[in-house]
Amino acid sequence: MTSEFKDERGRNLPFVISDVMGLENKTDSGIRPSDIIKALEGHIKEGYKFNPVASCSEQHYNSSPTLNDKVHCLVFVIPIHNFIVNGYVDNVLMKMMQNIRQKACDLGIPQVVILTKVDLACPHVKEDIKLIYRSKTIHQKVQACHHELGVPLNCIFPVKNYHEERQLNPDMDAVLLFTLTKILNSANDFVENIKEPEDEDHGDRIDSIDFIS
């Protein structure tokens, strides 16, 4: 599902966020890693409902994706407690994520990891979200994520989502917006880097760039 966002005057902001089905470690359930890779490359048409037991059909396949159809930043969303001391709870899932990340690297797509549910991992952070970057438990899990998935430390963001709160909390917002800013900057850098050769040549080359060598 793709979400659009508006500013206070009702104008569309220049980015979208696409949420997809999660990965599962069981056969025939969860999104197929090969479909995620097709989505990264822009080959999956908008509105396609991912099917765990079949690959994206021809009807939903975009054989000539433009820059707009491609993913500009890949975001992994993982509950933080899935990282344990020097490891991850599920080797099968981690292998899938590593393969997807490798493909994103090959395509030059930046990656960010959001580690959710920090409140369940550390009672001090549950009490006061401002301690999120000082918690030893959270720090160890961020390190484990870095070692397991290979994503640089400055691209891994622990967060607590709104789930039971009835009011906005500016401290929670600060953490979430810090994360969103990093994602948008990474996506923007990706797009700008692709556009640069075009600007130098004064030609329209975006659609003709072949991402896979």
Ligand X SMILES: Nc1nc2c(ncn2[C@@H]2O[C@H](COP(=O)(O)OP(=O)(O)OP(=O)(O)O)[C@@H](O)[C@H]2O)c(=O)[nH]1
Site residues (vs ligand X, CB under 6 A) = 22, 116-117, 119-120, 160-161, 163
Query: In terms of CB distance, is 164 or 210 closer to ligand X?
Result: 164
Q: Closest separation between CB of residue 92 and ligand X, Å?
A: 17
How far apart, in whole angstroms, are the C-alpha atoms of residue 41 and residue 109?
A: 10
Q: Closest Cα to residue 1, out of 56, 32, 41, 47? A: 47
Judged by beta carbon, residue 42 or residue 158, the one nearer ligand X is: 158
State in angstroms the smallest separation of the CB of 61 from ligand X: 24
Taking the least distance from each CB to ligand X, the nearer of 41 and 119 is 119
For residues 173 and 143, the answer to whether their CB atoms sit within 8 Å is no
Tokens 């500009």 found at: 72
Of the pair 108, 178, the CB lying nearest ligand X is at: 178
Pairwise CA distance, residues 79 & 6, whole Å: 28
Contact yes or no for 108/190 (Cβ under 8 A): yes
Provide the minimum distance between the beta carbon of 194 and ligand X in the complex, in angstroms, as a whole number. Answer: 29
